[in-house]
Structure 1
Amino acid sequence: MSTDLNASFDEQYVNINTKLKKRFMRKPNVSEATNEFIGLAIQCEHSEQPSFAGQTYIGAAKCEALAGNHLGEAEQYLAAARQFIKAEAKILALKFDSPDRENLEAAIGCYLQALSKYPDKSPIRTSILMELANNLVSLNHKLEAVTYYEEALEIIDESTMKLMYMRNLLNLLIDCGKYDNALQLANTIFDSNKNIPDGILTEIQVSRVLLTLLVKPDDESKTESLKALFDDLMNDVESEAIPFNINLKLKLQSIIISCTVGDLQSLISVAPDTKPYLTTQQTELLQALYSEEKDDNFVHS
């Protein structure tokens, strides 16, 4: 790297930009500047200055754009985005506030810039969207992540991958307390997939039961498969659509009856024995049911 290693970050950054302007941005100069920006970015990474590294990778991305190398531009924007995410995580780890979300907004902007360089149906777009969504989840911006999960789902055609992503989105919606949306998605998952593995099918069906008890949709808005789920479950009808073992089936029946008649004590009694069968999100739903029944009992007492 030709810049002075002992110079400050600002001096080095300005020095690269100045050299770029001297010969009317000819491609050989652009290529040299790209390498120097990358070198400076790596230096910032080693110095644990991710925000500076992100800014410098943006400089490299702009050089790649001038050279007409759009894939290289996308690669540098992704590198920048990852550094800004590190910078935001660092702030959170130190318990500092980030009200303007400067690093996070920069990261999102860089991800979207990279995204724009690929065709609409490119699998790389799916990877970028999921990386952005997962980073937002890790930084506790779960509701914001939902949008990018949904965008990724629109691209995916392969059935198994689509099922797994829909399942992840369902759990994310539950985490966000978006129970109406979660129930709609759970219904869509069941109704649009004919060959769901038993383990996942059990998980989806349990979530549908608990979500229905929380959302309380009227009969007209219930899907036919949702009505059949409750009818078969409460009437002990054997069905491939409800691959529950006998213990789980009995627990779900007790929960449904307890919620239907507003029996808070029965719900409290069945909850501990039910939790071993539930996912983390389903346990949250059961807790939400308890809180709702408790509030209802308080209002009517």
Structure 2
Amino acid sequence: MFLSARFLRPDLVPRSKMAAEGDFLLRYRAVSNKLKRRFLRKPNVAEASEQFGLLAKELKQEECLQYAGFCNLAVARCEQTLFNAAGEALALTDAARLFLQAEKETQRLQCPGFEEHLQAATNCYSFAIKVYIELNQPVMAASLCLELGNALKEMNKPGEASVHFQRAAELQSQVPIECLLSLGKVATCKIITRDYDGALAVFTEMQLLAQERGLQVPGTCTPVGAFMDIIARCEVSRVLLLMLLQMACQEKDLESLKVLQVELWPLLTPEQNHLLHLVLQEVLAPSGQGV
């Protein structure tokens, strides 16, 4: 089973919430009944999977997103029974995206809730990722990690997002440039959550990885292309983080740093400019000088 009974059985959803969805529950049960074993007759799982899929499409068109998600979960169970792992992963992914859409709509409308759709989406993504790993398809698994991470970051949950970006980086270990980009997302989330020590460690890891596994100029140890850009980002960000952590700026020369900020501003990324601003704001401002 993929999720708790609460998520797998739409009949556990309060009936008041089902009213607008018409005969969804009746149709869902009708298809489910076809999966029950009868004397001397095996259930037609493939037919049930197809019918659950059709019901999911109808519900999606009617913008009944969470119920469409339930139907896709039913499809996934059927495909698992048929030992069709690829179909199972696809159905789980569809369910995850529908639950995620439902959560975004709930937040857009500012409806009270317990983020149950987000929890369901996260669970579906996790199971889909697991299936792709079992299928030896780390690229697909990593893409879903990034998809979930980006969604969580957009929902102002950078701490949770960083976990999934880190997982994506681990799954992309054989593709250095993709791994580095995912680690960059981890570093960004740590900066947002003010985990500057953690961000410094990630940038250090990125720089070492880019130097060791990046493309290099023939006959030299000099990285080229995107790897050089990543190393430059890491070097500047590490310096700024060290300054922010007070391993530098001992003299607290605010005026010099203000001049430096103006000169560096067009050369730095938005993230690096943010770090430089934090250096001025959080390290030097306590001395009593305005920023």
TM range (shorter): 0.7 to 0.9
Instruction: Report the equivalent of 2:65.
Output: 50
- In the superposition, the TM-score normalised over structure 1's length comes to 0.76
When residues 44 and 207 of structure 1 are mapped into structure 2, their CA distance, relative to the original with a 3 A threshold, is same
Measure the CA separation in 1 of the matches of 2:166 and 2:39: 43
1:13-52 correspondence to structure 2 within 5 Å = 13-21=28-36, 23=38, 29-52=44-67
- The answer (yes or no) to whether the contact 1:27–1:67 under 8 Å persists in 2 is no
Matched letter for residue 157 of structure 2: H
Measure the CA separation in 2 of the matches of 1:46 and 1:272: 52
Shift of 1:26: 6.4
Shift of 1:188: 1.6
1:41-120 correspondence to structure 2 within 5 Å = 41-98=56-113, 100-119=114-133
How big is each residue's C-alpha offset from its partner over 1:137-157, in whole Å with a ceiling of 9 and x where there is no partner?
222211101111111222221
Give the length in aligned residue pairs.
253
Instruction: Report the equivalent of 2:265.
Output: 275
Shift of 1:97: 4.1
Structure 1 SS opposite 2:83? coil
Measure the CA separation in 2 of the matches of 1:294 and 1:177: 17
Does the alignment pair 1:129 with 2:145? yes
Identify which of 240, 246, 253 aligns with 1:210. 240
User: Higher mean Cα deviation, 21-30 or 61-70?
Assistant: 21-30
Does the alignment pair 1:138 with 2:154? yes
Alignment RMSD: 2.4
Measure the CA separation in 2 of the matches of 1:212 and 1:176: 17
- In the superposition, the TM-score normalised over structure 2's length comes to 0.78
Instruction: Report the equivalent of 1:187.
Output: 204
Instruction: Report the equivalent of 1:228.
Output: none
Instruction: Report the equivalent of 2:17.
Output: none
- The answer (yes or no) to whether the contact 2:168–2:179 under 8 Å persists in 1 is no
Identity of aligned residues (%): 31
Measure the CA separation in 1 of the matches of 2:34 and 2:285: 68
Structure 1 SS opposite 2:120? helix
**Unpaired runs of at least 5, structure 1:** 1-5, 218-255
